[in-house]
Structure 1
């Protein structure tokens, strides 16, 4: 069964808008895990616009307490700065179960594209080697078309264990009612990744509305990372009920 990792970045956005510690990121993550989520994801950015380094340390402790996966996302090329030690340094400090490398710039509102493996392979290789020495599973953010994602064999050659398919274009198409046009593209990319020996994760704008259709069309997705939609849906139904609805979708596919 595909597993669910809940991204709690949006809890931190709400907290930071007012200052203080409410809503509490760790308490929210605990509620998700108590509801049955299989792991927690965070994507700390150098500007600390949401998740901060202290959140990373606290959530690492929480996931160890529960014995579940901690997935740390970030741009490994972003230089350290006050309050942000750098992505690799954070991984060295907390040893996440999975390190997901994402090519986002400081100016991006959110992650919106994957690596170009033909261009980025040489730069990624030494960083992946460093992270593998920490016994992290390595996942690389990837687009679901050849022009942007390049040859999946290159992702495997740099030492990655998985790719995470960027599902933003699928979510947009699903909302327009024409997702069928993208099912073949995502399914083909998933098969190419698996043929190269890579596991497949997926994430970005997946929701209660579109998740089931995606998983029925794309073979053997091992993990979905969902935050923005889940937290928004939980404003109406609560975290416990919302996480359980996602788990029912995963169990039914």
Structure 2
């Protein structure tokens, strides 16, 4: 029986491994294990996102500053224009970009391009447009790489049979799907490997959109300074400040020709 179970697990891992994006200039080409279906994650994300927007609206915290909202949405649109470098289907996603009034220095992007930027991260870091592009691009990259789905798949493999049954046959399947999407996209931390991928892809997106990639370095320097005064949940599982800045410095240098070409156009 054990041999049979091991064989099933190995088969699941092999058949579920793929890369969700093209490598781009930054060279992100890691194979990912995807056992949870994209349709499940997308359905759950749509429901969870609607719930969050409804609750934020009820608290009068949704897009309360039209100028700030327009700014965030314009920057996001500029980045979305270049997502097909990493995956051809993403340009046609139903991208939704909203701003939530909150002191929390945070931002996130659910599967399918459902994103929220908190006013806390904009105001506390005093973000320039290019620095805001780095934040938005980073979060968009989590969705492009389907990191939430990857995390859910890893947990499913750890709990073979239990996780899948709880999602697929629970008495409240709709609630389970929404909870799964919200949990893996917002509540649970991404791995350092996933964070680095999001840094790299996000920085390429901003460079292609004509934002100076060196501004991504500035963001994490500001994050480091703010985090030293008040630990941020946003930073709790991210790579160390020094390693992140060192990596972004190399990535920015690599992307500088792309940025300069974009500025000419």
Max Rg structure: 2
TM > 0.5 between the two? no
TM-score by length of 2: 0.25
TM-score by length of 1: 0.26
